[in-house]
Amino acid sequence: MTLDCQAILGEDGRIAARLANYESRPEQLQMAQAVEQAIGEKRHLLVEAGTGVGKSFAYLVPAILAVAQRESAAEAASTSSSGQTGEKKKRPRIVVSTNTISLQEQLIYRDIPFLNSVLPVEFSAVLVKGRSNYISLRRMNVAVERSLGLLTEPEEQDQLRGITAWSKDTSDGSRSDLEFRPLPTVWDEVASEHGNCLGKKCPTYNDCFYYRARRRVWNADVLVVNHALFFSDLALRRQGASVLPDYSCVILDEAHTVESVAADHMGITVTSGQIEFLFNRLYNDRAQRGLLYVHNLIECQQLVTFLRHLADDFFFDVRASLHRSGATSNGRFMKPSGIKSEFSSQLRELGGRISVAANQVKAEEQKIELSSAGERCLGLAGVIDEWVEQSRSNSVYWMELTGRQQTGTKLVCAPIEIGPVLADELFNAVETVILTSATLAVGKQSFDFIKDRLGLTDCIELKLGSPFDYSKQVRLILPDRMPDPTREAHSYETAVCDQIRIQVAATEGRAFVLFTSYRMLQSCASRLLPWFREQRMSLFTQGEGMPRTLLLDRFKQAERGVLFGTDSFWQGVDVPGDDLKNVIIAKLPFSVPDHPLLEARLELIRSRGGNPFMDYQVPEAIIKLKQGFGRLIRSKTDTGQVVILDPRVRTKQYGPLFIRSLPECIMASSSED
């Protein structure tokens, strides 16, 4: 049998031979053959595959077969070369990057183990985590020895004891394997750190969880990562460093999130909380603890105390300078703030003094510990200077107030366009990049928006529908006589509440209501809570402190549950079966146009003669609407209704573009139609 995608995924393939009820899906096979072609021809591929296609098998099967074939060819070439037997060749690794933890877990715990048992080739796969996820046994032992000088709170001491006991039993050594969530102050004292590592000189090197994981990564054929780690690695490569080994192909699943994640991780961020955390770790004068206290570095302790005041003044000046520097009301700084502060120079001074003290310490473990702290101070000083001076071109700079009381300050810089960066550092640097999602195209076929945003020019394009029959499984309801949400905001919210009652009653709960803002979500929840109680329906509201996964579990367990959610519930949430019969979309998901990054992007489009609304805001909202729509049908047997309450899909010129972008289904003006 020829070893190709047909032989694995086809009707008479290896998977069909293993699974009694297996149904070969033409869309899946078509996608797999496109991936096979892209890897073989060393080209890029952009593929939208509707829900139910089975995207993960469609890219994993051809990618794994390609790795196996290339390794076989490399071994044969190495063996046949005279005098070159055993020559080390570049490994043809595949990186698979996802945006959500749930998809990562599906790949690493379900899909890949199954394929390992079915495919007639040997391959290895590993889930790659960032270094700080792993415990350092050496640092843990140091923290235990100095616990009274580093961690003085009873809860911190209890957690350190719990981590010490866990470290003797865990085979993984990563934070996710812990049964409790450690406090940041505790985990920061025991986590593996790049600058605080002795490498092979470390007495615990042979048992080191991070280096064990690293060896698995360097020897693996398939690396499963998240987008945050992938783009952090891409940013590090600018400096000649990396987290990931070299790879020949990267598959970006959930690719509709790439622009936002890449912008987040290829810019800079520094917060007042980050600075405070560093200072507390170095020296807490009230509790008389910290690294500088343990090492009795009196002058450095005094400098930390002085720096606390300078930090307060610096962040106060940043907030006060908004209007002086021409910043807008959304916190964006249109030009350098002009702030004159000693803060970064004194922070650099502290870093230098700690580094000098480190060089005078004879014990290697103590030296590396202090050196790491000094480097952290120097690094933060550099980031602050970059932000104040706005030294990065083609970027937007802004400030955010954080925390419940809005007392924290966050300084952010992000590239206005990520496309040119990705073109140079990803698409021109890697043989094959495969981008896939259920929501990439706008209208029936156009990939122009996503290609333009990501800087992708030459690629294979493929748009595949879903094997599900939406015309029989879904009713799309567009209620009549809804007020316009922009001109009649108060009347619109009242009408939304009325429609939620009607539509939720029609399915006896079992509904998601997706909002575009917490304010509207909370207002509608407050208005409707008495009605839900009367109907004996359980209302679950995002933003009240319950983690998303727990909120979702409670919703699934409730017989007549209704969940009000915002941004994170529009995508990456899977509720198959009768638990979810109704998805209500309160408003078309246009981004808030005054966010500094979006504002800068729209200005750039306008300066080039484009139409910011039609060229950016509408396509972006369409892709998000498709994500929200996709929450309903997760299997061939699922049925239900999607309700779009926003009348603009009917009344505005751009409205039909939203409807054309959705799967074809029966449309009605009410659930009775």
Q: How confident is the model at residue 87 (pLDDT cuts 50, 70, 90)?
A: very low
0.85 exceeded by pTM: yes
C-alpha–C-alpha distance, residues 445 and 622, integer Å: 13
Q: What is the pLDDT of residue 328?
A: 60
Q: Is 609 exposed, middle or buried (0-12, 13-18, 19+ CB in 10 A)?
A: exposed
Contact present, 190 and 135 (Cβ < 8 Å): yes
Query: Largest Cα–Cα distance in the chain?
Result: 83
Residues 455 and 510 in one domain: no
What's the CA gap between 280 and 282, in Å, rounded? 5
pLDDT band at 89 (very low <50, low <70, confident <90, very high): low
* pLDDT tens track for 149-182: 788 788 999 999 999 999 999 999 999 889 999 9
Distance of alpha carbon 616 from its chain centroid, rounded? 21
Residues 2-44 have pLDDT tens digits of 688 999 998 888 999 998 888 889 999 999 999 999 999 999 9
Q: CA 362, 364, 366 angle in degrees (round to 5)?
A: 85
Q: Residue 93's closest CA among 229, 200, 230, 223? A: 223
For residues 393 and 532, state if they share a domain: no
Residue 255 lies in a domain: no
User: Are both 480 and 625 inside the same structural domain?
Assistant: yes
Structure tokens at 320: 């006060």
**DSSP classification of residue 538:** E
Residues 34 and 107 in one domain: yes
Question: pLDDT band for position 259 (50/70/90)?
Answer: very high
Q: Give the least confident one: 400-404, 481-485, 538-542.
A: 400-404
Give the pLDDT mean for 297-313. Answer: 95
Q: What percentage of the chain exceeds 70 in pLDDT?
A: 95
Average pLDDT over residues 633-644: 93
Alpha helices in 394-536 (DSSP H): 419-422, 448-454, 470-473, 489-506, 518-534
- Banded pLDDT at 81 (limits 50, 70, 90): low
Residues 638-645 have a mean pLDDT of: 96
Same domain, 118 and 11: yes
Residue with tokens 């917060």: 271
| The pair of three-digit structure tokens given for residue 49, joined into one six-digit string | 């595959």
Total domain count for the chain?
3
| Distance (Å, whole) CA 500 – CA 497 | 5
199 token code pair: 């490498």
Kindly state whether residues 394 and 431 are assigned to the same domain: no
319 Cβ contact partners less than 8 Å away, ≥ 6 residues apart: 399, 401, 409
Comparing 85-94, 226-235, 569-578, which segment has the lowest mean pLDDT? 85-94
Same domain, 543 and 444: no
> What pLDDT score does 86 carry?
46
User: What is the C-alpha to C-alpha distance for residues 164 and 160, in angstroms, rounded to an integer?
Assistant: 6
Looking up residue 635, the CATH number of its domain turns out to be 3.40.50.300
Q: Are 98 and 227 in contact (CB under 8 A)?
A: yes
Residues 320 and 408 in one domain: yes
Of residues 623, 633, 634, the one with CA closest to residue 665: 633
Same domain flag for 448 and 406: no
- The full length of the chain comes to 673
For residue 364, what pLDDT is reported? 85
Residue 545 in tokens: 């402190």
- Rg (C-alpha) for the chain, rounded Å, is 27
Please indicate, yes or no, if residue 221 is contained in any of the structural domains: no
Determine, yes or no, domain membership for 23. Answer: yes
H or E element at residue 39 = helix 26-41
Q: What CATH number is associated with residue 339?
A: 1.20.120
Residue 286 reports pLDDT greater than 90: no
Query: Cα 209 vs. chain centroid, distance in angstroms?
Result: 24
Do residue 501 and residue 393 come from a single domain? Answer: no
Residue pair 404/622 in contact by the 8 Å Cβ criterion? no
Domain residue limits at 284: 268-415
Residue 192 lies in a domain: no
The mean per-residue pLDDT over the stretch 273-292 comes to 91
Tell me the helix, strand and coil percentages in the chain, rounded to 5. Answer: 50, 15, 35
Alpha-carbon span 467 to 450, nearest angstrom: 24
Whether 411 and 487 map to the same domain: the answer is no
Q: Per-residue pLDDT for 88 more than 70?
A: no
User: 673 pLDDT band (50/70/90 cuts)?
Assistant: low
**Is position 280 within any domain?**
yes
Q: Which of 389, 415, 441 is the last residue of a domain?
A: 415
**388 shares a domain with 362:** yes
Enumerate residues 6+ apart whose C-beta is below 8 A from 196: 136, 139, 368, 369, 371, 372
